Structure 1
């Protein structure tokens, strides 16, 4: 009996050693990539996409109108290919707008919803939840397309430079900047590799992966929400929703990601 127990113990140690050796041969990035691949076939973002498509066509607000005449940069109602060219300059607002700020404009002008009230609403609540669903669907309509943010207009170039300054600005109690985490190759937090966003990090990485479904929170996060959380981690005050600095950061990262394939909505831990 004792011999059998010793044999079983030896086998268990041997198997554990082999498993540990196999794990040691993989980087943390590879292990996380495998984890995401296992979940990708059933990405819960699809539920948000379906809701977003329905919201786009639904008549709502004081004007009882749908969003189907919203111009995202490629003409009224055109959704395919729009996401990978945002943020961009819009003549009607005389602003460079990202997807969320442009949707605020359309929700206000077409449907009569209160843009200022939506901007003050906490993420995941009320019209902010609807906003995230719209973002999920619109971004999915450009999945597989390449990031191609325009820089022809002077204000688009100005926003790129503003975004660059914001990206490298250090401050707060920890003297952090966006570049503290995303300004060099080979950085990571715990097991999470951090892409270098000062250049094109590659297909489906960084800017080309957001919005994304966060497994840890069970929520769909837009780029605005992602940036808000980055400021939280830097111990900075939260930026205003759809404020100029968040749009400018989107321009900076998006232009740097030129040519990268969008996988949005992505899947994150």
Structure 2
């Protein structure tokens, strides 16, 4: 009987492992099929047009916006953000840097844009711009600078926030993304305390969400993570989300960007 019980147990474990692998493979195949017609391409086109279009109170384009590689240089900028900018004396991610450029070059009010409800007005345009800029670095490796004292500080703050538990459910980012082999609803959860690999975690956003038909930038992804943890919803472009982006981005060094990706 002991041998029979052991044999049955082995079969159950093996079947469970096969089912897990099958589910993961099935989701990967599903995404691959959708990728050919990824609606993110529509946001890319809109973002490229917005970059060159003269808009705002100053009737100017964003073509002189410095994303870290010099005024107007877009290719390769995404995989080096967040980073320190001397003109603002801040570490900024892509979205917060775009707000700075929209304010200084075009005359928009960055604070008003940050307060705009998701998916409306200029905040929707920021998402489209971020999608196009990310696409210009698709296939490149993440290599965030981490030498300036402000960058190092943001990394350490992001690390502490990543492991900080709170909210009504006592959750932290690390609850879902702090170790290998975790899953939720048949979906693998990447370990973001280290390089999760090409196209995983930080290297996959902005992404189009099939489940709700929306385009999400990394800012929006992090804000929704806080919502799910039952934390107060962060302000768009908050220092907390930029610090988390710095922590994950530095950890993702060498990972290949597939953004804009497609998600369930």
Instruction: Tell me the distance in 1 between the aligned counterparts of 2:177 and 2:85.
Output: 29
Corresponding residue number in structure 2 for 1:134 = 129
CA deviations 1:53-72 (Å, max 9, x no partner) are 00000000000000000000
Corresponding residue number in structure 2 for 1:40 = 35
Pair 1:117-2:112 in alignment? yes
Q: How far did 1:40 drift?
A: 0.6
Number of residues of Structure 1 aligned to a counterpart in Structure 2: 249
Could you tell me which of 62, 65, 85 is aligned with 1:67? 62
Instruction: Tell me the distance in 1 between the aligned counterparts of 2:182 and 2:92.
Output: 30
Corresponding residue number in structure 1 for 2:139 = 144
Could you tell me which of 208, 217, 221 is aligned with 1:222? 217
SS at match of 2:131: helix
> Which runs of 5 or more residues in structure 2 are unaligned?
1-17
Q: How far did 1:25 drift?
A: 8.1
Instruction: Tell me the distance in 1 between the aligned counterparts of 2:237 and 2:143.
Output: 21
Pair 1:30-2:30 in alignment? no
Instruction: Tell me the distance in 1 between the aligned counterparts of 2:63 and 2:111.
Output: 22
CA deviations 1:224-265 (Å, max 9, x no partner) are 100011001100001111111100000000000000000000
Q: How far did 1:26 drift?
A: 4.2
Instruction: Tell me the distance in 2 between the aligned counterparts of 1:92 and 1:56.
Output: 20
- Aligned pairs (5 A) from 1:53-92: 53-92=48-87
CA deviations 1:82-108 (Å, max 9, x no partner) are 000000000000000000000000000
Corresponding residue number in structure 1 for 2:196 = 201
- Aligned pairs (5 A) from 1:185-196: 185-196=180-191
> Which runs of 5 or more residues in structure 1 are unaligned?
1-22
Corresponding residue number in structure 2 for 1:164 = 159
Say whether the 8 Å CA contact 2:20–2:186 is kept in structure 1.
no
Residues 123 and 90 of structure 1: is their aligned pair in 2 closer, same or farther, counting only changes over 3 Å?
same
Corresponding residue number in structure 1 for 2:262 = 267
Q: How far did 1:162 drift?
A: 0.2
SS at match of 1:198: coil
Q: How far did 1:207 drift?
A: 0.1
SS at match of 2:106: coil
Residues 25 and 157 of structure 1: is their aligned pair in 2 closer, same or farther, counting only changes over 3 Å?
closer
Instruction: Tell me the distance in 1 between the aligned counterparts of 2:155 and 2:221.
Output: 19
Which entry has the higher C-alpha Rg, 1 or 2?
A: 1
